[in-house]
A = this chain, B = another copy of it.
């Protein structure tokens, strides 16, 4: 998809903030502004009452799309910021989506249930000139990789993981933010549904035809190849029993110059595959580097560890020092501390 919203409303009824990963991601990291959050359970409060965010990213929580328009008629998209188990559409959200489409604004959804397949929504969108973006649906012109990502001017940085859900998206976004603060033209290359909704564009790599995995990444790298630095959101893990194909395709499709190994403190088996132990960090470094080398050499130069399970900053520092010494590079928790030292490492001699 390639939506270009500037001010959005984010639907997160009844699940904000803890079960609204997409909503909180969009509020924290999107390039566009969040004008309002729709959550009937918390209407009247503000986002900052629930999560820790910079003041300029705070927004009111309202009851409905109609209320959001009353406060801000300039809203130009509705983002579906929650996904119930199974990815279905909750009928109680229908009036909000209708109200958005009737106003002619775009609707961006990462649900498994494609809103564009809903006859009523599709008709309303046609009638009012709105576009429905179902971000889980790959665009139809994807094809095989030509092996050209290594030729772009941009310095390419890929987050790789010891497992799924270890913070690869967050680390990529924090590095992008830190790079922009240094004045670099830095892009985030999204590969999963939440990343795509935050960026407003991208290919859902886990949903493309397996033959096109690398090609769908390459398409995005080439599109942004003239920037200073690209932070590519990795997926899964190269030792994941189910998802390693996606990880491998992203590695060879992105052809990174540098990699950041992401981990969650205390994780010692692949989540959901408890008979598969998480190897030691050095094994991951060797696997990612050795597999990258024949296609495009790239090194794991830094680490990122989610230390939220550790109570004290001292314990977190200790975990980071240990991880860093195992991978022979700096390691950080960019949420708890900052991303500067890791950014230095991934940029190396770059701009």
Residues of the B chain whose Cβ atoms lie less than 8 Å from the Cβ of A147: 241-242, 273, 275-276
Max count, chain B CB within 10 A of own CB: residue among A145, A245, A276: A245
In the complex, whether A213 has a CB less than 8 A from a CB of chain B is yes
Contact of A239 among B146, B212, B215, B294 (CB under 8 A): B294
A279, B294: Cβ atoms closer than 8 Å: yes
Question: What is the total number of copies of this protein in its complex?
Answer: 2
In the complex, whether A209 has a CB less than 8 A from a CB of chain B is yes
Residues of the B chain whose Cβ atoms lie less than 8 Å from the Cβ of A214: 241-245
A295, B239: Cβ atoms closer than 8 Å: yes
Nearest-neighbour CB distance to chain B for A207, whole angstroms, equals 6
In the complex, whether A208 has a CB less than 8 A from a CB of chain B is yes
Nearest-neighbour CB distance to chain B for A212, whole angstroms, equals 8
Chain B residue at minimal CB-CB distance from A211: B206
In the complex, whether A144 has a CB less than 8 A from a CB of chain B is yes
Contact of A294 among B252, B283, B291 (CB under 8 A): B283
In the complex, whether A205 has a CB less than 8 A from a CB of chain B is yes
B294, A245: Cβ atoms closer than 8 Å: no
Residues of the B chain whose Cβ atoms lie less than 8 Å from the Cβ of A215: 242
B291, A287: Cβ atoms closer than 8 Å: yes
In the complex, whether A246 has a CB less than 8 A from a CB of chain B is yes
Max count, chain B CB within 10 A of own CB: residue among A147, A210, A273: A210
In the complex, whether A248 has a CB less than 8 A from a CB of chain B is yes
Contact of A210 among B206, B239, B252 (CB under 8 A): B206
State the A residues within 8 Å of B (CB).
Answer: 144-147, 205-215, 238-249, 251-252, 273, 275-277, 279, 283, 286-287, 290-291, 294-295
20 contacts between A and B (CB under 8 A): A144-B243, A147-B275, A206-B209, A206-B211, A208-B209, A208-B210, A211-B246, A213-B246, A214-B243, A238-B248, A241-B252, A242-B252, A244-B249, A244-B291, A245-B246, A247-B248, A276-B294, A286-B290, A287-B294, A290-B290
